[in-house]
Amino acid sequence: MKNISLKSNQCIATCPACGLLCDDILLENNQNVIKVMANGCAKSIPFFEQKLNDATPRIAGEPATLAQALARAAQILKQAQQPLFTGLSTDVAGFRAIYNLAQKTSGIHQQNMQHMNAASTARNIRVLQSTGWQTTTLTEVKNRADVIVCIGSDIVSHNPRFFERFVDVDGMFISAKNRQLIVLGESKNNGVIKSDALEAAWILPCRADDLPSVTIALRALVAGKPLKATEVAGIKVSDLQSVADKLKAAKYAVLAWVSKDFDYPHAELTIQNITETVAILNQTTRAAGLALGGSDGDTSANNANTWLSGFALNNDTIEHDCVVWVNSFNAEKLPPNTDKPLIVLGNTNCQFETTPDVFIPTAKPGLDCSGTLFRVDSSVILPLKKLRENNLPTLSEVVSGIEALL
């Protein structure tokens, strides 16, 4: 996008639809209707091109003024003893506002804050807390990685432009043609994206629930421990030995995974196999892990909560007597079914299965208002632009209004 000549109704923006935060999206605004003109993907196009729907607050499904909705939300929280603040899909400023509200309503003392992606995030957090890990950044992958092993392989659906932006391009110290990509799992691209690396990848297919066996076998082989078996989950041990040899011979090996795809009991042990393989490799060469995925502002929520409270966000079952659901980005993700009072703050396009007690539409960062988010590798924080005119309050403004009434 260098030296591009923009029309008066065009701009380059950062996309918050996945953890990559691609900052080269060419957009065009025609009378408040946004169109993706270049560098879009299966996630960015639906985000930027979503309509600006009715912004009227509602109480029990009936239209209300913002002041009335704020007052009713405050009344519910005053009566609650254990409110649950969940969803938490927002940017850094929005999360900070919710954190402050939770402090005022005793929620933070109960650790009653939980992101909608808590289950998958917790798999990574448990490994980081128990044994630590050695991870890299997206930029380092682009500039240095010569062998990349994707474990689980469904990166395309989570981060559609990962290969385009960080693998199929030349870096400072390596050219794209000299990288080798290996996939342990099932390649789910099916022509969704064009990638030279994916087309040339060495794919060792296995099911997701076979990855614990495959990763522990690879870890053993990298450590120089022979295996008596000839196959692991349908993969020849001789092929896994070849993968181990390539990793040990690499100048900068990267083992990448998406924790959402490890949806089986004790999945954190699979991640630990990956990170311990990295640790073994670093005794003789350079290697790093790369936790991909990242969506719904989960990286930002976890980082902000850690620096504000010193704790990771809760993943346990939480006793509660009311629910505050926060969802700024993805209208398809709905609040949990509950018989408790429900306050919803977020996307104007949500179609609820259960009518909330209070629904206050808020501006979507990166579309209706400005904001900031952490990239999935936590190495940079990127600004989001306001792209269209609207009368929606920001989440921070709504939360401050509720807080003032408590």
Comparing 58-117+297-369+387-404 with 121-292, is the CATH topology the same?
no
CATH architecture of 58-117+297-369+387-404: 3-Layer(aba) Sandwich (3.40)
In 141-262, DSSP assigns E strands to 147-152, 180-185, 202-204, 231-232, 235-236, 253-258
Summarised one tens digit per residue, pLDDT across range 275-309 is 999 999 999 999 999 999 999 999 999 999 999 98
Cα angle 356, 358, 359; round to 5: 85
| Cα distances (Å, whole numbers) of residue 65 to 341, 345, 369 | 19, 14, 21
Query: What stretch of H or E contains 244?
Result: helix 237-249
- The full set of domain ranges for the chain reads 10-48, 58-117+297-369+387-404, 121-292
- Note the pLDDT of residue 188: 63
- Note the pLDDT of residue 95: 97
- Note the pLDDT of residue 99: 95
Question: CA–CA separation, 343 vs 51, rounded Å?
Answer: 23
**pLDDT tens digits for the chain (406 residues)?**
556 789 999 999 999 999 999 999 999 999 999 999 999 999 999 999 999 887 899 999 999 999 999 999 999 999 999 999 999 999 999 999 999 999 888 755 557 899 999 999 999 999 999 999 999 999 999 999 999 999 986 788 899 999 999 999 999 999 999 999 999 987 665 556 788 888 889 999 999 899 999 999 999 999 999 999 999 999 999 999 999 999 999 999 999 999 999 999 999 999 999 999 999 999 999 999 999 999 999 999 999 999 998 888 888 888 899 999 999 999 999 999 999 999 999 999 998 988 999 999 999 999 999 999 999 999 999 999 999 999 999 999 999 999 999 9
Q: How many CB atoms lie within 10 A of CB 87?
A: 29
Q: How many CB atoms lie within 10 A of CB 75?
A: 16
Residues 21/373, Cβ–Cβ less than 8 Å: yes
Summarised one tens digit per residue, pLDDT across range 36-58 is 999 999 999 999 999 988 789 99
Tokens of 339: 């018989």
If you search the block for the tokens 């080798």, which residue do you land on? 180
- Note the pLDDT of residue 107: 54
Tell which residue, 120, 144, 158, has the closest CA to residue 288.
144
Tell which residue, 117, 54, 80, has the closest CA to residue 402.
80
What fold, for 121-292?
Answer: Dimethylsulfoxide Reductase; domain 2 (3.40.228)
Three-state DSSP state, 27? strand
